Structure 1
């Protein structure tokens, strides 16, 4: 058996799933050989940026549970995984070379040995922030169904909602990773756009940075039905759903005939043992409302078209993307938990190291 050179072994801080049910995370440090094992086709990377996404909460439950139904659950005692941006340190895969900047599925750890390189992509456009590849510029494959905010917003809004100039658009969790983009896409098309968020800071962001026509703090609105009637006296054509529960119930009362609802997420329900019921479903019939769930892998074939659409707008400053940066791997668990109390402003990203 070949001996391991001590200089090729590095300390590797990791975020570990302690057990199912509670989904409690902790940070530990192990060691890792800083070289791809002989006979392997793997790629060794140093992680730079990690994406925090609400779907990850469902993966802290056993595979087969309703909340972890379309991706395999995390494994207790192992690092959790997600989208990240990284730098290649060593590679046995001819498609990747030392020094390449890449993004894809990686571990929540300082270094990752990636064996499934089908989920790894070289970064071609480096004139935009690298962290954008955890969000607005993230790509996916047909079997990779986690949330990529840019493609989710693009596919959900343009493909599911079939928007038209002048229509009335409402977006919940509108300052989040997806909502902020949907609102900007709608404004570029000439729609009237209102968003809801959970703080004055976020409401100001929607109106002053993202260009929404209006916005409100849902925490200050005890009667959401009345609130929506105030902002949409003629009703809502398009609702981009990120929250669920009471918000969805109120929206159903305010949709126009032949309105469209894109169900992207229901973050208010993810930590509930018993999800809230929705009482106003008859309005789907009364107003012939079309509601469709979004799984972003349905739109992976549109990625080249999406890049052609979005990159010029980013470079020209016509689309802005706000990120909430948490520094250091130790901050990762708190950043992920904070998604469910609305603590983040914009796309939540964890910086492991800067390139």
Structure 2
């Protein structure tokens, strides 16, 4: 446990799943996995993702067997699930330990990051890419930090923050940055990068506790509780000279407000739109018209998927690790215990129950 920077979520007492061996010599492992039984309609339902068992065959040359230690739940899973055929394993990434190997590049005992979904055990080929076509990789040395950070600040969310903010917003010292979904894994990270680079940073979050964390622990200059404050009024007070950069995690009316308070040649990096993920897509959109703001302020608005920078992946991890070691970048994790509680952790994330990165410890 990492001092005050490591926050544990509600612990549910469940027994860790262990592989069931067939005969005295290991020939097969019985793994557990969640499969996509039905595409989500509105808020995800437990019956949409049934938990099943799967027999894994003995290893072939070049393969290795991993056992999940930490699994990630992320907002992108909600819209991305429609890209995966029904009956397949629910998408997601994990940090796992290699427990058997016939691949010299992946020796027993090493930890790997693998984008292979919600499953306890997996036989992997070296070129397996998952939904993002990203082959598994051995985790770099985190110098004593938790391995779970490979799913957060030192993994995909960290690189989403690093590349998505720096490459698209092109921030400059003295500018004003607004981050929506600011208390999540990506938003909290982006705001801290803004402070490292000398920007005035305003976060928008959904509770007083989250706003307090952003200001008192992470160093945000201002934090707005969108549930209790008038966002337009609060934003004018916090940014009297308007906004130069907006990192958008939520979309919807909040984003319409921010866009209408931006300076000429402002830049918007669109990471996600969690406000709409459970909405009826046939009834959308129902938000303010943004084109006048884009035209008259000559704004640049660009969406992105972090895999755009997969050829620079370790650059982001190394820089974020350096900032952590220098005390410039803090993180928090909301941890749910038990593979059987993956679904609860996922729904809780979509409802904003997490602070920082949401992970499940197997």
TM-score bracket, shorter-length normalisation: 0.7 to 0.9
Consecutive unaligned residues of structure 1, counting only runs of 5 or more, are: 64-72, 139-147
Which residue of 1 is the match for residue 14 of structure 2?
A: none
Which residue of 1 is the match for residue 7 of structure 2?
A: none
1:167 and 1:126 mapped to 2: Cα distance?
32
Which region of structure 1 is more displaced relative to structure 2, 205-214 or 314-323? 314-323
Q: Please tell me whether the aligned partners of residues 335 and 350 of structure 1 are also in contact (alpha carbons under 8 angstroms).
A: yes
Which region of structure 1 is more displaced relative to structure 2, 278-287 or 241-250? 278-287
Which residue of 2 is the match for residue 60 of structure 1?
A: 81
TM-score with structure 2 setting the length: 0.84
Counterpart check, 1:203 vs 2:220: no
Decide which of 106, 117, 123 is 1:113's aligned counterpart.
123
Decide which of 76, 85, 94 is 2:86's aligned counterpart.
76
Q: Please tell me whether the aligned partners of residues 56 and 123 of structure 2 are also in contact (alpha carbons under 8 angstroms).
A: no
Counterparts in 2 of 1:81 and 1:42: CA distance versus 1, 3 Å: farther
Consecutive unaligned residues of structure 2, counting only runs of 5 or more, are: 1-21, 130-134
Counterpart check, 1:47 vs 2:54: no
Counterparts in 2 of 1:332 and 1:21: CA distance versus 1, 3 Å: closer
Deviation at 1:182, TM superposition (A): 0.7
Which residue of 2 is the match for residue 136 of structure 1?
A: 153
Counterparts in 2 of 1:29 and 1:297: CA distance versus 1, 3 Å: closer
For CA contacts below 8 A with separation 6 or more, give which structure has more relative contact order.
2
Counterparts in 2 of 1:7 and 1:109: CA distance versus 1, 3 Å: farther
Aligned-partner SS, 1:202: helix
Which residue of 2 is the match for residue 159 of structure 1?
A: 167
Counterpart check, 1:307 vs 2:317: yes
Deviation at 1:126, TM superposition (A): 3.6
Deviation at 1:160, TM superposition (A): 0.7
Q: Please tell me whether the aligned partners of residues 81 and 108 of structure 1 are also in contact (alpha carbons under 8 angstroms).
A: yes
Which residue of 2 is the match for residue 32 of structure 1?
A: 55
String of CA shifts for 1:141-176, please: whole Å, max 9, x gaps. xxxxxxx21111111221111111111111000011
Deviation at 1:288, TM superposition (A): 0.9
Q: Calculate the aligned-residue CA RMSD, in Å.
A: 1.9
